[in-house]
């Protein structure tokens, strides 16, 4: 099993925590030039084959640890070295010897307002979300189905049977990748995953459930 980091924005972190996001699409940095007889790019079965493509995010069974915007804050608790707060939901965890520790009460009753550290700077030990890859495939961006658009974390449950959630996803893609990027219809990696609960020290089962998005 291999482990790699992956970045998510605050809205997508919230979708991961509430269980509505089980897929992510990422544009292939090098668009494929080798195809099988039915016109689909050939995926690598082993790294090093120059005629096929290896997924940079891993293969089924590999894990992705989530990087998100965060801040090291003053816990105001003598027992601990400090605290870490997550921008997505202002969740606060105490820190001791690079371990995340759940505590019964918020470290500081005042929500942290910044400045936040960009997700790219999050160290591995500070990550609270781990994803296990279930499947990997490649497809054209515009070929996303309604069901897959919902699995990308669509925040409007009524879209499952009403308005087309693909319109929401197209707007999200353009917001992240730049205006007009949806219309370019690139080949993308489609990574499907399940979420693992965080390994937290201390706290109660009830508060751990809250932190893991189970309530």
pLDDT in tens, the chain (215 residues): 899 999 999 999 999 999 999 999 999 988 876 666 555 565 554 334 444 577 899 999 999 999 999 998 765 555 666 788 899 988 888 777 667 766 655 555 566 777 899 999 999 989 999 999 999 998 999 999 999 999 999 988 766 566 889 999 999 999 999 999 999 999 999 999 999 866 655 543 333 333 344 43
> Does residue 213 contact residue 45 with C-beta atoms inside 8 Å?
no
Provide the whole-model pTM: 0.79
* Nearby residues of 27 by Cβ (< 8 Å), 6 or more positions away: 141, 177, 181, 186, 187, 188, 189
Element (DSSP H or E) covering residue 173:
helix 165-177
Question: How far lies 109's CA from each of 68, 91, 92, 93, 204, in Å?
Answer: 22, 11, 10, 13, 19
Q: Cα(132)–Cα(199) distance, rounded to whole angstroms? A: 15
Partners of 73 in the β-ladder = 83
Rg of the Cα atoms in the chain: 19
Separation in Å, CA 214 to CA 18, 67, 202, 211: 8, 20, 18, 8
Distances (CA, A) of 112 to 81, 92, 129, 207, 211: 17, 9, 20, 20, 17
Domains of the chain and CATH, by start: 3-66+130-195 (2.30.130), 69-126 (no CATH)
């Amino acid at each position: 099993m291999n482990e790699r980091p992956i970045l998510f924005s605050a809205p997508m972190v919230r979708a991961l925590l509430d269980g509505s996001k089980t897929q992510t699409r990422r544009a292939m940095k090098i668009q494929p030039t080798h195809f099988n007889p039915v016109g689909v790019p050939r995926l690598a079965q082993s790294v090093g084959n120059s005629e096929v493509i290896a997924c940079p995010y891993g293969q089924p069974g590999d894990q992705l640890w989530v990087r998100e915007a965060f801040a090291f804050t003053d816990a105001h608790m003598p027992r601990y070295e400090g605290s870490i707060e997550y921008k997505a939901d202002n969740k606060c965890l105490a820190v001791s010897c690079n371990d995340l520790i759940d505590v019964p009460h918020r470290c500081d009753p005042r929500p942290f307002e910044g400045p936040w550290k960009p997700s790219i700077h999050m160290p591995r030990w500070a990550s609270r979300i781990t994803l296990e890859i279930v499947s990997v495939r490649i497809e054209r961006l515009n070929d996303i189905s309604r069901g897959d658009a919902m699995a990308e974390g669509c925040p409007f449950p009524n879209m499952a049977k009403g308005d087309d959630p693909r319109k929401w996803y197209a707007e999200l893609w353009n917001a992240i990748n730049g205006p007009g990027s949806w219309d370019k219809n690139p080949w993308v990696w489609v990574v499907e995953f399940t979420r693992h609960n965080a390994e937290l020290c201390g706290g109660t089962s009830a508060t751990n459930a809250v932190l893991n998005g189970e309530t």
